[in-house]
Structure 1
Amino acid sequence: MRGLAHALAPVVRLGSAGLTEAVASETARALGDHELIKVKAPGGDRAARDELFAELARRTGSALVHRIGNVAVLYRPRAEPPGLVIPDR
């Protein structure tokens, strides 16, 4: 999944207000559209970013696939129609 996300641009950007209900709602909508998305947070304390990404994943019912720097990759499978096809290794 990390490989599939590599070429993606962040579709959700968190601002200085942090994790608001609007950001969680927009992230849930983006996951419904794309299944696999990147989220970008402002720089700063690493532990705070980790907590923020974990809380966003919890609120949206998604899995935190990967985090590097201030960018996280979230995945939430779509029930119908299935969208993301994970290639065999």
Structure 2
Amino acid sequence: MPLSTQDIKRLRRIGHHLKPVLIFGDKGLSDNFVEELNLRLEDHELIKVKVNAETRDDRAAIVQALTEKGSAELIQRIGNIALLYRPAQKPSPKLSNILRYQNA
């Protein structure tokens, strides 16, 4: 289900103060990285990922692959930081960035 403009604005507001929880480096898109990505998305719902790549095109391709592998929605990409969202099956009030910053 596509997100509305209001939802995207709210997620961008929440994500503004988050720190990257994953850093995509030179080891590529390994199975372990995808597993960690899925785990972080399930726990936090909204995460920042730092992508270390040489060119814009490389960063765009990596972010596209991350959204596909993680079944996530790209909320925003600025420079080498991508903000990804995927609703959790059972969100945890202590871990979910959406629930913790509900009033943002």
Question: Normalising by structure 1, what TM-score?
Answer: 0.88
Find the counterpart in structure 2 of residue 79 from structure 1: 89
2:73 to 63, 70, 85: 63
Map Cα deviations across residues 34-89 of structure 1 (whole Å, 9 max, x no partner): 0000000114110111110111110111101110000000000012247525669x
RMSD, aligned α-carbons: 1.8
2:45 to 8, 29, 35: 35
The whole-number CA distance in structure 1 between the counterparts of 2:91 and 2:26 is 35
Structure 2 residue 35 is the aligned partner of structure 1 residue 25: yes
Count of residues in Structure 1 that have an aligned counterpart in Structure 2: 88
Post-superposition shift, 1:22? 1.2
Structure 2 gap segments, 5+ residues each: 1-10
The whole-number CA distance in structure 2 between the counterparts of 1:65 and 1:18 is 22
Q: Which amino acid aligns with 2:22?
A: V
Structure 1 gap segments, 5+ residues each: none
Question: Normalising by structure 2, what TM-score?
Answer: 0.76
Post-superposition shift, 1:31? 0.4
Find the counterpart in structure 1 of residue 16 from structure 2: 6
Q: In the alignment, is the contact (CA less than 8 A) between 2:73 and 2:84 conserved in 1?
A: yes
The whole-number CA distance in structure 2 between the counterparts of 1:49 and 1:19 is 12
* Greater helix proportion: 2
Q: Which amino acid aligns with 2:67?
A: A
